[in-house]
Structure 1
Amino acid sequence: MATTWYGVDEAPVDAPVLVLGNSVGTTQGMWTPLIPALAGRFRVLAVETRGHDGSEVPPGPYSLDELGADFLAVLDELRLESVYFAGLSLGGMIGMWLASTAPERIERLALVCTSAYMPPATGWIERAETVRARGTGAIAEAAAGRWFTAGFREREPDAVKAALMMLVSTPDEGYAGCCEAIAGMDLRAGLRRVTADTLVIAGADDPSAPPSHAEVIASEIPGARLQIVPDAAHLATLEQPEAIEALIVAHLEGSR
Structure 2
Amino acid sequence: MPFDRINGIVIHHQVEGPESGAPTIVLVNSLGTDFRIWNDVAAAFSGRYRIIRYDKRGHGLSEVPPPPYRMEDHAADLLALLDHHLVPSCLVVGLSIGGEIALGLAALDETRLAGLVLMDTAHKIGDAESWDARIAAIEKDGIGAIAPQILSRWFTPGFRTPDNPAFTGYSNMLLNSPLPGYLGSCAALRDADYTETARKLAIPTLLMVGDQDGSTPPDLVKSCADLVAGSRFEVVAGAGHLPPIEQPEATVRLVGGFADAVFGAKAAA
Equivalent residues in 2 for 1:202-217 (5 A)?
202-217=209-224
Equivalent residues in 2 for 1:56-205 (5 A)?
56-154=63-161, 157-205=164-212
* 1:46 corresponding residue in structure 2: 53
Corresponding residue pairs, total? 256
- Contact 2:161–2:167 (CA<8 Å) still a contact in 1? no
State TM-score, norm by structure 2: 0.90
* 1:249 corresponding residue in structure 2: 256
* 2:243 corresponding residue in structure 1: 236
- Contact 2:162–2:168 (CA<8 Å) still a contact in 1? no
Letter in 2 for 1:167: L
How far apart, in 2, do the equivalents of 1:215 and 1:225 lie?
10
Cα distance change, pair 169–183 in 1 and its aligned pair in 2 (3 A): same
Cα distance change, pair 155–137 in 1 and its aligned pair in 2 (3 A): closer
How far apart, in 2, do the equivalents of 1:183 and 1:144 lie?
20
Deviates more, 1:146-155 or 1:223-232: 146-155
Deviates more, 1:242-251 or 1:40-49: 40-49
CA deviation string 1:183-229 (max 9, x = no partner):
11111111122222111001111111111121122111221100011
* 2:225 corresponding residue in structure 1: 218
How far apart, in 2, do the equivalents of 1:9 and 1:56 lie?
22
Cα distance change, pair 118–242 in 1 and its aligned pair in 2 (3 A): same
Structure 2, unmatched stretches of 5+, are: 1-7
How far apart, in 2, do the equivalents of 1:215 and 1:83 lie?
24
- Shift of residue 8, structure 1, vs aligned partner: 3.1
How far apart, in 2, do the equivalents of 1:145 and 1:232 lie?
12
CA deviation string 1:118-153 (max 9, x = no partner):
222221122122223322222221121011011221
How far apart, in 1, do the equivalents of 2:181 and 2:76 lie?
16
State TM-score, norm by structure 1: 0.94
CA deviation string 1:12-52 (max 9, x = no partner):
62111111101000001111121211212211111211100
Secondary structure of the equivalent of 1:154?
A: coil
- Contact 1:132–1:173 (CA<8 Å) still a contact in 2? no
Identity rate of aligned residues, in percent?
A: 35
